[in-house]
Structure 1
Amino acid sequence: MTSMRDQLYGIKRKMRKDSKVTLVLPSEFTFNRSEVKHFDHVLSFFNWKLRDIPVEIDFRLCSSANYQAVSLLILYCWKIKQQGCTVSFLLDNETDPNGSRVWRMLGAQGLFAVSTDPKVNFNSNEHKPLFAIRNSDDFKAALQSLDAFTLNFGVEYQKTLRYVISELLYNVHEHGASDFHWRGKRYPTPSILQFTWYERANELHFIVGDLGVGVKNHIGKAHPGLSSDEEAIRLAIQPEISGTFTTQDPYATRNNAGMGLFISSNILKKLRGDMHIISGNGAVHISPIDTTGKSLDFSWPGTFVLVTVRLDRGTEFALDAMMSEFRDHAKAEIAARTNAATIQQLYVGMYNYFGTNADIKSEAIRYRDKYIIPALSEGKSLLLDFTDVDSSTHSFLNALLATPIMRLGLIAYKKIRIVNATKEIRETIDYILDDNTADEPNNSQQS
């Protein structure tokens, strides 16, 4: 005769089975759409509200997936497992390049053993390596693998890529730390590093991701009042902004705390690479020619950075020379920013906010409304530094400056200072100044 306990257990199992949620991977699980990165398509798959129910992830309809997007799925599985879900997978037979094959190539079947055993890491394909980053041993192993992976790309590429990935992994230590409990023990939630060389395109793609507090919460300790995740990311790539703010963190002892993301992003510009930083619902794209950002429809609870580098063997560069150049640039900007704070001035490093080509009008409007108009309203002056900005359109500069100039009137000539601008940019700003300090300014200039 079945005991009452067994009957209740059977009922409980049936109820749990009936509550199972199946998440079906879309036919394409990739960031790539017509050579442009789109993140909402992948992020929309993740349901972060699932708790204490069985979850089944079905790969069978996914006919195309890339390794970086699927790597995020591993972090997602860890998260919902921590929220009390049991996670299972429905995989298809291996056919290139479907989602099931990518999952197996990453060694993702062992993801839960990796999360609770510090001696175990992913048994991924040597050409598509995936690492869980939990401690200094993982850090060293990942960099050693990267050295071997990039051996044939040349010494300078090897050194440079090692530097960039090292700094991104240090950032994981800053804002990526999160813990969970399992069977009475406390474990750090791993971060992930995955890199792939696409031989046909001669490109190296890599992703570093975590489930930590996110950029906004991290730098908000020292810079409260940030209105969006995008704004926080833009601020984090400025020199001496994104450093550690707790004295106990080992990263705080590094002399370049707050410089790593600034230097890494500038290195990638020099290499004609692309860096996408996603945190919360903020997305910032740092390309060789500009820096753009937006708010996404869907969000990521921590941070991930996706990097693409074209391995052009004809490109000559020296890491030491680049580092020296960037540090000099950073010192000059920090000094200008410090001086501006002393004399009640808003300093804007145009290159760091808008890139080599400052020409996106919507970016100018947002920055104007968020920073310039409030600063001028407080009686501050404005210093725009155009160092390393090659071009800027009339529409961009007009959107940035016309309204502030009209509000200031003739005093704008004293309150707004322009330095290190090209002749064309200087002439455009002079025209905007003249046009908006006339007795009867054209209202169309205020847009």
Structure 2
Amino acid sequence: MGLDDLVQGKPQVSRGEPGRTHKLTRIVKFEHIERNADEISKLLIPDDRQRDTQRTLYYVIVELLRNALQHSRDKLGGVIAAQRNDRGRNWNKPVIQVAVADTGIGILEHLKTSHPQLQDAQEALDKALWPHVSGTFEFGLTGTAENAGMGLFFIAEMAKLTAGTLVLASRGATLLLDGDPEFEGHHRLEFVQPRGTGYPGTLVAFELPTDAVEDYNALIERIRELARERTPRRATHRWMRYEPPPADAQEFLVNVGVEDTKKAMQVATETLIPWLVQRRTIVLNFRGMEICTQSYLHALLFEPLRMAWALRIPIYVSNVQPGVRSNLELLENYALGG
């Protein structure tokens, strides 16, 4: 699995075995996240007939790596490894297993930044799976310009809806979630005993059955609905338009800095918001983007969307895939809430 090379800081000759394993890899820069997520998902799921499973795995990897780099405060970044398991207990039900770890401050300390009342590691792990929970803003809010607090919520719901498994371990506690294999909603969620069993940093492991995802877009849409149900009701405005834009609209190709939330915030501040202040009509062109995580869309559009609403300037969207549109609609629901 490449442990010796990782510890010694040596470059790997081979990333892994196609269809089987992806060796331990350290990620320290946001711009490396997308490339590695794409490489891992295609290495372990090379069959194009399982494209929807591949897209789901990509989404999970992007969110987990971004969390490690954005919140852990580990100067060495995060470490990822993945494998396809079709032996032993999984011989008749192959699964993809991916794990991301860091040696940072842990989930409790991160959440205490904005939630000082949290003092228990188990409570912190439980709340980390709620929608709109992050150490970057208080309970009851729905995000900052960079963070929506939706990453682990989406991944946990993916585990439930695919009969997968999620292990969330951090300093002081470990949480295990098993999705119901009968798809009747009887999921198993429990803390590993004895109390206090944890990990020196944060470790997240996700297990996804290879045949569990038949429609990625429908999966994202269902999770969006669940997030909306669990977010306090408030007035909702519709300020994104999906019809053809005016001829003089200013187009922005969204794949610039894709999945780099810091780059996305920079684009929002230096490009999109100035265009809106100049009262230009913007067209967001999502051409070529099958997948776009909630975290990235939040960083790119949370503030511009609120600015557009304040100035009464609609934002047009073109060439958007159904799964990406679902995430845009979720963002609009909470960004423009009354």
Q: TM-score, normalised by structure 1?
A: 0.44
- Which residue number corresponds to residue 140 of structure 1? 34
Q: Which of 69, 77, 94 in structure 2 is aligned with 1:190?
A: 77
Q: Residue in 2 aligned with 1:210?
A: 102
1:46-93 per-position Cα deviation (integer Å, ceiling 9, x unaligned): xxxxxxxxxxxxxxxxxxxxxxxxxxxxxxxxxxxxxxxxxxxxxxxx
1:330 is the counterpart of 2:238: no
Aligned equivalents of 1:328, 1:257: Cα separation in 2: 16
Match of 1:155 in 2: 51
Structure 1 counterpart of 2:204? 305
Unpaired runs of 5+ in structure 2?
180-186, 236-338
- What's 2:265 paired with? none
Distance between the aligned counterparts of 1:228 and 1:276, measured in 2? 18
Tell whether the 8 Å contact from 2:33 to 2:66 is kept in structure 1 after alignment. no
The match for 1:290 is: 188
Letter in structure 2 aligned against 1:293: F
Alignment size in residue pairs: 213
Letter in 1 for 2:207: T
4+ runs deviating over 6 angstroms: none
TM-score (norm 2): 0.57
Higher helix residue share: 1
The equivalent position to 1:263 in structure 2, one of 142, 146, 154, is 154
Alignment of 1:362-377 (within 5 A): none
Q: Which residue of 2 aligns with 1:352?
A: none
Provide the secondary structure at the position in 2 that maps to 1:334. coil
Change in CA separation of 1:136 and 1:296 when aligned onto 2, cut-off 3 Å:
same
Q: CA deviation at 1:253?
A: 4.0
- Per the TM alignment, residue 147 of structure 1 is displaced from its structure 2 partner at its CA by 3.0
| Distance (whole Å) between structure 2 residues aligned to residue 235 and residue 267 of structure 1 | 17
Q: Aligned match of 2:165 in 261, 274, 293?
A: 274
Aligned residues: CA RMSD: 2.7
Q: 2:2 aligns with which of 93, 107, 113?
A: 107
Q: Are the counterparts in 2 of residues 122 and 132 from structure 1 also a CA contact under 8 Å?
A: no
Matched-pair identity in %: 24
Whole-Å separation in 1 of the counterparts to 2:12 and 2:137: 30
**How far has the Cα of 1:203 moved from its partner?**
1.6
Distance in structure 1 (CA, Å) of the matches to 2:127 and 2:113: 13
Residues of 1 paired with 2:104 and 2:133: CA distance? 18
SS in structure 2 at match of 1:300: coil
Report if aligned partners of 2:79, 2:102 keep a CA contact under 8 Å in 1. yes
How far apart are residue 235 of structure 1 and its match?
0.4
2: CA distance, partners of 1:318 / 1:137 = 28
